[in-house]
C-alpha cells in the first residue's frame, strides 16, 4: 500500500510541475529597442504599454495587428507602469521621480524626495485598490541606467508607499528590491530582491508590512544562479517571475508550476492582458514576446 501511495504522490507531483501555461510559439516584436520593461495592459484601448528605458520612451502595442506606436516621447526614463481607477498612467522613473499622466496627457510629478533627499531610481510599482501606490527604489538609474550617474542620497534601497501627497517608507530590509505585486486579496505584498533571487512575502496591515518571509528563490535556465526581476500575479494567485532565460511560475504555496524558456539576454518583466486575459506579454532586453495562454 505504501509503495502504491508513493507512486501516486510522485505521479501527482510530476503532473503539477509539468503543467504548461502558454502556447510555445510566441509572437516576437522587434522595434530597435534599447531595454524594454514595465509592461501593463490598457483595458480601455485594448493594447499593451511598455517602457524603453534608455530611449526614454513608452510604446503601445496592439496585440491583434502587432502594430507599434509611441505613447510618450519623453517618459522620464520610465520603468514600471500601471493604471489607477481614474485611468491615470503611473510611472516609476529612472530620473528619480514617481509621476502619473492623466488621459488628457498632462504629467504630474508626485514624489522625488524622501526626508528631503532624492530617491534613488523608482523602478517598479503596484497600485492597491485603495489608490495607494507601492514602489521599489533600487539604484539602477543612478548606476547608469538613467539620465546620469549619481551617488545615493538615501543610503539604502527602499520600498515606498504613496497616497494623497504622503510618501512613507514601507521597508529598507532588501538589498536590491525590484519587482513588486499584491496577492489577489491584497493581504500579502511580494517583493523581488535581485541580489539573491528571493521573492519575499510580507503581511499587509494598512500602510505597514510585517512578517517578512522568504517565499521562493527563483532560478532560471539550468545552471543559472538565482535571479529575479519583475513579478506579476495571475487570476489564480500564481506568481510569474522574470528570471534568467525565461519566466518561472509558482502557485500561492510556492510550488513550481512551469518554466517558459526564452532565448534573450535579459528577461525583465511580464504582464497579462487581452479581452479574456489570455495574453502574456514578456519584455526581454530588446524584444517583446507575446504568448497566448492555455
* Domain residue ranges in the chain: 2-292
pLDDT number for residue 179: 98
pLDDT number for residue 52: 98
pLDDT number for residue 207: 96
pLDDT number for residue 121: 98
| DSSP 8-state class, residue 129 | T
Q: Give the tens place of pLDDT for each residue, 252-283.
A: 999 999 999 999 999 999 999 998 999 999 99
CATH of domain 2-292: 2.120.10.30
Q: Give the tens place of pLDDT for each residue, 234-255.
A: 999 999 999 999 999 999 999 9
> Binding site for substrate: which residues?
123
Rounded CA separation 92/61 (Å): 20
pLDDT higher than threshold 80 for residue 74? yes
pLDDT number for residue 81: 98
Over residues 121-150, the mean pLDDT reads 98
> Binding site: which residues?
37, 123, 178, 229
Rounded CA separation 175/120 (Å): 13
> Binding site for a divalent metal cation: which residues?
37, 178, 229
- The confidence band for 8, taking pLDDT boundaries of 50, 70 and 90, is very low
pLDDT higher than threshold 50 for residue 12? no
Q: Give the tens place of pLDDT for each residue, 75-133.
A: 999 999 999 999 999 999 999 999 999 999 999 999 999 999 999 999 999 999 999 99
**229 among known catalytic residues:** yes
Q: What percent of the chain has pLDDT over 70?
A: 94
What are the grid coordinates assigned to 290, written together? 507575446
- The confidence band for 9, taking pLDDT boundaries of 50, 70 and 90, is very low
Bridge partners, 249 (sequence order)? 240, 258
193 class by beta-carbon count within 10 Å (0-12 exposed, 13-18 middle, 19+ buried): buried
pLDDT number for residue 2: 40
Query: Which residue out of 95, 193, 229, 258 is catalytically annotated?
Result: 229
Amino acid at each position: 500500500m505504501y509503495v502504491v501511495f508513493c507512486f501516486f504522490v510522485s505521479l501527482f507531483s510530476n503532473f503539477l510541475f509539468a503543467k504548461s501555461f502558454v502556447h510555445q510559439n510566441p509572437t516576437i516584436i522587434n522595434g530597435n529597442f534599447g531595454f524594454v520593461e514595465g509592461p501593463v495592459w490598457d483595458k480601455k484601448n485594448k493594447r499593451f504599454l511598455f517602457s524603453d528605458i534608455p530611449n526614454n520612451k513608452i510604446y503601445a502595442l496592439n496585440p491583434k495587428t502587432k502594430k507599434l506606436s509611441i505613447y510618450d516621447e519623453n517618459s522620464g526614463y520610465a520603468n514600471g507602469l500601471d493604471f489607477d481607477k481614474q485611468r491615470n498612467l503611473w510611472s516609476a522613473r529612472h530620473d528619480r521621480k514617481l509621476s502619473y499622466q492623466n488621459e488628457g496627457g498632462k504629467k504630474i510629478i508626485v514624489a522625488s524626495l524622501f526626508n528631503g533627499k532624492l530617491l534613488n531610481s523608482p523602478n517598479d510599482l503596484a497600485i492597491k485598490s485603495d489608490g495607494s501606490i507601492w514602489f521599489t527604489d533600487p539604484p539602477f538609474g543612478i548606476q547608469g541606467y538613467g539620465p546620469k550617474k549619481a551617488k545615493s542620497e538615501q543610503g539604502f534601497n527602499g520600498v515606498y508607499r504613496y497616497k494623497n501627497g504622503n510618501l512613507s517608507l514601507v521597508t529598507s530590509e532588501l538589498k536590491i528590491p525590484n519587482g513588486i505585486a499584491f496577492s489577489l486579496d491584497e493581504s500579502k505584498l511580494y517583493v523581488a530582491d535581485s541580489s539573491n533571487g528571493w521573492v519575499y512575502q510580507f503581511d499587509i496591515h494598512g500602510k505597514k508590512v510585517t512578517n517578512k518571509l522568504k517565499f521562493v528563490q527563483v532560478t532560471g535556465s539550468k545552471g543559472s544562479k538565482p535571479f529575479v526581476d519583475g513579478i506579476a500575479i495571475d487570476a489564480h494567485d500564481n506568481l510569474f517571475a522574470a528570471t534568467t532565460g525565461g519566466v518561472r511560475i509558482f502557485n500561492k504555496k510556492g510550488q513550481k508550476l512551469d518554466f517558459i524558456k526564452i532565448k534573450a539576454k535579459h528577461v525583465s518583466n511580464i504582464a497579462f492582458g487581452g479581452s479574456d486575459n489570455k495574453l502574456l506579454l514578456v519584455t526581454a532586453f530588446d524584444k517583446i514576446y507575446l504568448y497566448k495562454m492555455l
